[in-house]
Structure 1
């Protein structure tokens, strides 16, 4: 762990850039004002350094947890942010915490069971919106065709 508040702020900014992308973080920093600057500094130190720097979980696992928790709580703006930045992240960089569609599907299936079908349904709608915006819609399938791996 960094030893000073300034070290923690800088490490938090590095983590934030790796996970959310430099453009998103630059936008947040550029939008700092006398009302929100201390909040931005606090979440950068506390969440993005204090939590995201911890060795106990890989960053991808942390992002998956963020998705499940934000969907469960109906925090759709944060859910969408992590969907978008996870899909755009470099899969070869483990610090970027990239996401793929099978992982997102599993997160939403489990969220629907434990947090309710409306949370899973809204989560799926948000994911589809982001995929549409990124021009990465998944291929259509026949609803009535047997699922892959299912028994005949």
Structure 2
């Protein structure tokens, strides 16, 4: 069983595995908040997003959750999607990405995506670390 199997509960049902992976990475409170919409299309939309975005995390393969996390952080920074960058940076403890690795990733983002993308990501990292310190969570 690889890291992905452990995080997705080892499910053979792709949507069930994707749901488990999403909860393992982002936590119950976030997922429950995102899936609480009672609109008729909301459940179908959430299942689609979950199977598409989190199914790739749950599929196993040559990339570990840590590798996937670093890729998502880099891609969301490159696209300027700081709300997603923030969300995935907050999931670092679950994926095994360290603060030092995130700091190094910011240099890669600067080199390949430009200073504005890396500076925006750096602001998010600084805010995340300040919130962590204020709440008494470790590094």
TM-score, normalised relative to structure 2: 0.80
The correspondence for 1:72, drawn from 78, 86, 98, is 78
C-alpha separation between the residues in 2 aligned to 1:53 and 1:32?
Answer: 26
Partner of 1:131: 129
Identify which range, 69-78 or 16-25, moves more after superposition. 16-25
Distance in 2, Cα, partners of 1:47 & 1:78: 12
Q: Which has more radius of gyration?
A: 1
1:16 maps to which of 19, 22, 33: 22
State the shift of 1:135 in Å.
Answer: 1.4
* C-alpha distance in structure 1 between counterparts of 2:81 and 2:109, whole Å: 13
Between Structure 1 and Structure 2, the one with more helix by share is 2
Q: Distance in 2 between matches of 1:111 and 1:32?
A: 38
Q: CA RMSD in A?
A: 1.9
Q: CA deviation at 1:36?
A: 3.1
| 2:3 match | none
Whether 1:52 and 2:57 are equivalent positions in the alignment is: yes
Tell me the number of residue pairs that the alignment of Structure 1 and Structure 2 aligns: 124
User: Contact between 1:15 and 1:53, CA under 8 Å: does it hold in 2?
Assistant: yes
Structure 2 distance, partners of 1:16, 1:32, is 20
Query: Normalization by structure 1: what TM-score?
Result: 0.74
Residue 102 of structure 2 corresponds to residue 104 of structure 1: yes
Q: Which ranges in structure 1 are unaligned for 5 or more consecutive residues? A: 90-95, 137-152
Alpha-carbon distance between aligned partners in 2 of 1:129 and 1:29, rounded to the nearest angstrom: 26
